[in-house]
Amino acid sequence: MKKGILYGVGAYAFWGFFPIYWKQLHNVSALQLIGHRIVWSFVMLIAIILFTQQWAEFRATVNAKILRVYIVAALLIGANWLIYVWAVNANFIVETSLGYFINPLLSVLMGVIFLKERLRVAQWFPVIIAALGVAYLAYVYGSLPIIALSLAFSFSLYGLVKKLSPLGSLYGLTIETGLLFIPALGYLIFEQIRGVGVFLNTGVAPDLLMIGAGLVTTVPLLMFASAARSIPLWAVGLLQYIAPTIQFFLGVFIYKEPFSHNQLIGFGIVWAALIFFLIENYLAKRAPLEIIPEMGEG
């Protein structure tokens, strides 16, 4: 379990520090960045499958039914990546962190709506409180925090589709990036022909960073997959707050994004909801365990 925790911390820390990576490419348009992320991620994932001698097994999983499921996932994760990269380079790191703080509670709500899952009465409380926090921020901004909500909704819907899909993370992401590969590559070639493509035109360092987008996408994903198999779900749920916490501190203290007193109140309401949510889940999971010794003694 200790190794699993380390993998989990590593994956979420990796994702938390993502803004630093994308900031190095702030002169590249978000569409071109996502194009390169898709293309090089697909290349990297195929290389992993070939290196681990899983090609025959992977090929056997691909059929029309599988592709129909994963095209939805591909569109959702593509949209999420695009919004995130654009927001980071447009100096909205703090708001992106809010999206990923909201995401777990939104996922719970989607489970109720789409999967007919039932919530305990106490579980509704943090969902309502988080909604109030978002409403307060909307009042402060004068409009809804669109970036945060777009990230939260796209990733929550992506999680829902992945929950209903039959394949593991490696094969699933390979298919998702594969479905987006041709449009992404076509767009990048089109930009090169137009003379506005950045690849091979802006120096070795940016080129290596764009190629590296595939590596920084697959490494934390594989670390997360290893962690998810070896540690309890509650631990995974707790660790997921590492990423938006790091992003929040990067936005405020490293990139000096504005963070007003009113924003602190709104974020504080959302954080309070998350703390209540975690404590309630922890106590609910402990309750059955506390009964076991009494049953044994009887």
Over 50: is that where the pLDDT of 83 sits?
A: yes
Give one DSSP letter per residue of the chain, joined into a string: -HHHHHHHHHHHHHHHTHHHHHHTTTTS-HHHHHHHHHHHHHHHHHHHHHHTT-HHHHHHH--HHHHHHHHHHHHHHHHHHHHHHHHHHTT-HHHHHHHHHHHHHHHHHHHHHHS-----HHHHHHHHHHHHHHHHHHHHHTS--HHHHHHHHHHHHHHHHHHHSSS-HHHHHHHHHHHHHHHHHHHHHHHHHHT---TTTS-HHHHHHHHHHHHHHHHHHHHHHHHHHHS-HHHHHHHTTHHHHHHHHIIIIIS-----HHHHHHHHHHHHHHHHHHHHHHHHHHHHHHHHHHHHH-
Phi first, then psi, for residue 54 (nearest 5°) are -110, 10
If you average pLDDT over residues 229-238, what whole number do you get? 67
pLDDT band at 201 (very low <50, low <70, confident <90, very high): confident
Over 60: is that where the pLDDT of 290 sits?
A: no
pLDDT band at 289 (very low <50, low <70, confident <90, very high): very low
In tens, the pLDDT along 86-137 reads: 999 999 999 999 998 888 778 778 888 887 877 778 878 888 888 898 888 8
98 vs 228, more confident: 98
- What pLDDT does residue 296 have? 38
Over 70: is that where the pLDDT of 220 sits?
A: yes
- What pLDDT does residue 292 have? 34
In tens, the pLDDT along 141-194 reads: 778 889 999 999 998 898 888 878 888 888 999 999 999 999 999 999 999 999
Q: What is the mean pLDDT of the chain?
A: 87
Over 70: is that where the pLDDT of 20 sits?
A: yes
